[in-house]
A and B are shown apart, each in its own frame.
Chain A
Amino acid sequence: MIVPLRDAVSELVRDGDVVALEGFTHLIPSAAGHELVRQGRKDLTLIRMTPDVIYDQLIGMGCARKLVFSWGGNPGVGSLHRLRDAVENGWPRPLELEEHSHAGMAAAYAAGAANLPFGVLRGYRGGDLPSRTRVGVVVCPFTGEALAAVPAHRPDVGIVHAQQADRHGNVQLWGIAGVQKETVLASKRSIVTVEEIVDELEPRPNGVVLPSWTISAVAHVRGGAHPSYAAGYYDRDNEFYVAWDPVSRDRGTFLAWMKRHVLDTADVEEYRASLAEEATAA
């Protein structure tokens, strides 16, 4: 149940899988994303409401064939340059897009968790988005109202980060909870990385508990959400997001950064040490 991250990724994620790494600004499973890069996963269909730095890295390293998303940017900073390069120039490989709204993505996850074929919402009305994505219309049998239907997300693998697990692999996360519960419950297999393993989970305000039997593997990855944050453990590394902009603008600079901090590091501890070493040298 509680296994090294490397083993969880190698056993549960295959080339060509549909993979969702979720975390809405908070608790983004970056270390697990880095492990996908290290293990050279490819042809993935990546789902995520808000692709940010970790998806920019996965896309720039050529891991993804398709992206299903609703907002792809560097929050508060600007563009994701690797995402843009893939869409605008096909580098390092063309990237197919399936684009939704936040409300549609949330409904699609909730439908997946509920074992329904589609999510229903009052959305996708007018504009050009409906003609560019997978959305249909269902008519309410009671009122006759036409509503939008979005196909349920049913990822092969759902990956999230949480604050704690107990020794049996029961997980608790708290603070901004995003769509993590829905992601785990909608996925065929799931990996949860956690900041800390504790003897017993204490109930928290707004705590989301995922019993061990809903999860395929738990890995203890302290600092696994960096540069995102883990409430109660560490703050968001806002400077990192700002610094990512110039690193990611240039293909060569990006590749050198990924080699130094991800490919040439074995795990999150070495990744952190490598960032610290660079900061000291600067």
Chain B
Amino acid sequence: MTTNGDRPYTADEMMAVEAARRLDDTTVCFVGIGLPSLAANLARRTHAPGCTLIYESGTIGAKPVRLPLSIGDGELAETADAVVSVPEMFAYWLQGRRIDVGFLGAAQIDRYGNLNSTVIGDYEHPTVRLPGGGGAPEIALGVDDVFVMLRQSPRTFVEQLDFTTSLGDNVRVVVTDLGILEPRHGELTLVAVHPGSTVEQARAATGWDLQVADEMRETVPPTDEELAALRALETKGRS
């Protein structure tokens, strides 16, 4: 828990706010459940009301009031501009290159932004069988900009992925609970830390020798307006 003046906020809220700030009024974005959905809906409720949210269940232009638990909640369809079938979603809309930004999460990331959401351990005899790639392999290469949201730890930010589920070619930013990583000279580099976090913490939470940008900055903490909009979404999500 960190504070802006006297208002405490959580690491998740800082992550959602930093991701939301990267979306604008004309962005068309492919949204997953959890933090990406929170971030995209926050953008829509604050500075980017025209931002188009697409969930892979086929809902285009969804405007949920409550945060959905699944990508196919009824409210997404009820509030959408259009609802299309899943084959159409992936063929006409994603492969058709009509989507600007795609959010991805994963169990592991490497310094090139490649992601693993398939297995921990050997594929044939995994220690942990993860859910799998889902839409990620084609999202990763089918949008212009991939945003990754991941809590930073040596178990997650690894030297070597156990499995490469999706490629990092289009990863533009990784928003973590400690700061912001962006590709510089071909590898993810720390470019900012959140208030209350340090470069040393970020390096310690990374399984490779994390490079640090010359022009390091500190992210702006969530504003009162951002926190109010976030909490309205979260409160309604729990009801």
Interface residues in chain A, defined as those with a beta carbon under 8 Å from any beta carbon in chain B: 24-26, 49-50, 69-73, 75-77, 79-80, 83-84, 87-88, 99, 101-103, 106-107, 109-110, 121-129, 132, 175-179, 181-182, 206, 208, 229, 231, 235-236, 238, 241
Chain B minimum-CB-distance residue to A95: B129
The verdict on A25 contacting B133 (CB below 8 Å), with A103-B95, A231-B74 known, is no
Q: CB of B49 within 8 A of chain A?
A: no
Q: Is B9 in contact with chain A by the CB < 8 A criterion?
A: no
Does B136 interact with chain A (Cβ within 8 Å)?
Answer: yes
Q: Measured between alpha carbons, how far is A125 from B78 in the docked complex, in Å? A: 35
- Contact present for B57 and A176 (CB under 8 Å): yes
State the majority secondary structure of interface residues on A: loop
Chain B's interface size range is: 35 or more
Binding-face segment, B145-153, B160-168, B188-196, B209-217: B160-168
Q: Give the docked Cα–Cα distance between A15 and B119 (Å).
A: 30
Assuming the A-B contacts A69-B132, A124-B137, are A102 and B56 also in contact, with contact meaning beta carbons closer than 8 angstroms in the complex? yes
Which residues on A sit within 8 Å (CB–CB) of B129? 72, 79, 83-84, 87-88
List chain A residues, Cβ under 8 A from B141: 125-126
Q: Across the interface, do B70 and A176 meet the contact criterion of CB distance under 8 Å?
A: no
**25 A–B pairs (Cβ distance < 8 Å), ordered by A:** A25-B70, A25-B73, A26-B72, A71-B132, A71-B133, A72-B132, A75-B71, A75-B72, A76-B69, A79-B129, A88-B126, A101-B136, A102-B138, A103-B137, A123-B138, A124-B137, A127-B137, A127-B165, A128-B118, A129-B133, A177-B58, A178-B85, A208-B85, A231-B78, A238-B69
Q: Are A76 and B83 in contact (CB under 8 A)?
A: no
Q: Given A106-B90, A126-B167, A206–B118 Cβ distance below 8 Å?
A: no
Extra 15 A-B pairs, beta carbons < 8 Å, given A25-B57, A128-B164: A25-B70, A72-B132, A75-B70, A76-B68, A102-B138, A103-B138, A106-B91, A107-B91, A123-B137, A126-B141, A127-B164, A127-B165, A176-B59, A177-B58, A178-B86
Q: Which of B77-128 contact A (CB under 8 A)?
A: 77-78, 83, 85-87, 89-91, 94-95, 114, 118, 123, 126-128
